[in-house]
Amino acid sequence: MTEAAFSSPLARLTAGPRPTFEDSAALTRKRYRREALLKGLGIGAIALALGLLALLLFTIVAQGWPAFREAYVKLDIQFDPSVIDPQGTREPAAIAQANFAKLINESLEQLFPEATSRQERRMVRGFASSGAAAELRRMVLADPSLVGQTKEVWLVANDEVDQFVKCAVNRDLAEADRRISDQELALLDKLKADGRLEQRFNRMFFTTGDSREPELAGIYGALWGSAYLMLVTLVLCVPTGIAAALYLEEFAPRNRATDLIEVNVNNLAAVPSIVFGLLGLAVFLNVLGLPRSSPLVGGMTLALLVLPTIVVATRAALRGVPPSIRQAALGIGASKLQTMTHHVLPLALPGILTGTIIGMAHALGETAPLLMIGMKAFIVDVPTSPLSPAAALPVQIYIWADSPERAFAERTAAAIMVLLGFLIVMNAVAIYFRRRFEQKW
């Protein structure tokens, strides 16, 4: 063996020619260039992500903002007693059976005396929404003294008039390529010039359920359906998830059975959501026979989806509590259960609340499991209990997105804005609770 073989590593490194100052400076510049390149790539990736997110939000807001405004037409309604209450009893039952659509049609025909043919009169009658008659009925039922009077009333226009008022009709297109004819455009221009067309806040979007008519469709029923879904999910998964995490982390013996349970819990957190929908369809509907398309079944299915997330988040929060807390409690005579309930759980509460709210936000935006259990039916009525048929907000968005009318496209984007608003609020609440109860060790 040569002497060089027994030399130290430092000796071998210093045996060669020593680098000059220029060589060291070049290596330093090269390292700085690589660091700058890596930093630039990171900043560029963040900027690209923020730009795409801003583009997405801008597109949704730009398309959905017009849905919060609705076109109304001003009509001189003559509340004819012979139509509303021929017997003169003023009984609500008699008024409710009146033909209020006839009053609206007569008012519209008086505005356009030049519309003489049957086709032209039908076209003019279509300017008001089919729901305008119900609005007149509510007005007269609330104030029967209107019978016999003539009054100016603002009523909801149909979706085509609404698009005209919002300047969404392309006049440059050929008449055959437009849903509004040239004659309709001329009549609507006359209405607008007379001050009988204007936009108002679309309160029905927040106060009515779904409808086949875009101008009458709202998210009120879907909001209640989502509220019942979240209530059932919260009641089922939060106590179960916290109890399971507490047992696995603090009480369960370390053996193959608990290892298998932990592996399965972690794997369930990554299972596609549609698999939980298939499970809910097979067990809750086919085996247990629970009501189809009800928030109860939807909440039970979403509870299965959220449960692994809550278990994992709770276990992480429990691990974050210092062992000295447990040792101190046990040292002064507290039992294991008292240590957990009086000391460990309160200190782990910020992490548990954060994981719970994030899991609930995940459940709020899920669609696939609800579609699998049948919550995609056309439901107009607002649910009154978790057993009532209902639609959830994500499913309502899915149904509207499949509709061809442009007004439904606006409402789809507006409903997405409402859903994003709820998700932002829920995540903000999670951040608040974390900072409110967080403690530094």
Side chain identity at residue 402, one-letter code: D
What are 105's two structure tokens?
């049609």
Q: Which pLDDT belongs to residue 1?
A: 47
Residue 11 has what pLDDT? 55
Which phi and psi (to 5°) does residue 272 adopt? -55, 145
Domain boundaries, given as residue ranges, for the chain: 71-202, 220-437
Cα dihedral 61, 62, 68, 71, rounded to 10, equals: -170
The CA radius of gyration of the chain, in Å to the nearest whole number, is 33
Give the SS3 label for residue 93.
helix
- Predicted local confidence at residue 171, as pLDDT: 80
Q: How far apart are CA 226 and CA 364, in angstroms?
A: 7
Q: What is the pLDDT of residue 51?
A: 94
> What span, in angstroms and rounded, lies between the C-alpha atoms of 373 and 298?
7
Q: What is the pLDDT of residue 39?
A: 92
Structure tokens at 110: 């008086």
pLDDT for the residue 8:
58
Q: What was the pLDDT predicted at 19?
A: 67
Indicate the CATH number for domain 220-437: 1.10.3720.10
Q: How many CA atoms lie within 13 A of 206 on its CB side?
A: 8
Place of tokens 């220029």: 22
pLDDT in tens, the chain (441 residues): 455 554 555 555 455 566 676 777 778 888 888 899 999 999 999 999 999 999 999 999 998 898 999 999 999 988 888 888 888 777 888 888 888 899 998 898 888 888 888 888 888 888 888 888 888 899 888 888 888 888 899 999 988 888 888 888 888 788 777 788 888 888 888 888 888 899 999 988 998 888 888 888 899 999 999 999 999 999 999 899 999 888 888 888 888 888 888 888 888 877 888 888 888 888 888 888 888 888 899 899 999 889 988 998 898 888 888 888 888 888 888 888 888 888 888 888 888 888 888 888 888 888 888 888 878 778 888 888 888 888 889 989 988 988 878 888 899 999 999 999 888 888 888 788 777 776 665
How many Å apart are CA 315 and CA 300, to the nearest integer? 22
CB proximity list for 365: less than 8 A, separation 6 or greater: 394, 419, 423
Q: What is the dihedral of CA 279, 282, 284, 286, to 10 degrees?
A: 170
Distance CA 373, CA 278 (A): 8
pLDDT for res 12: 53
* One-letter amino acid for residue 161 of the chain: V
* CA dist list (Å): 182 to 118, 151, 171: 17, 31, 9
Cβ atoms 407, 327 nearer than 8 A: no
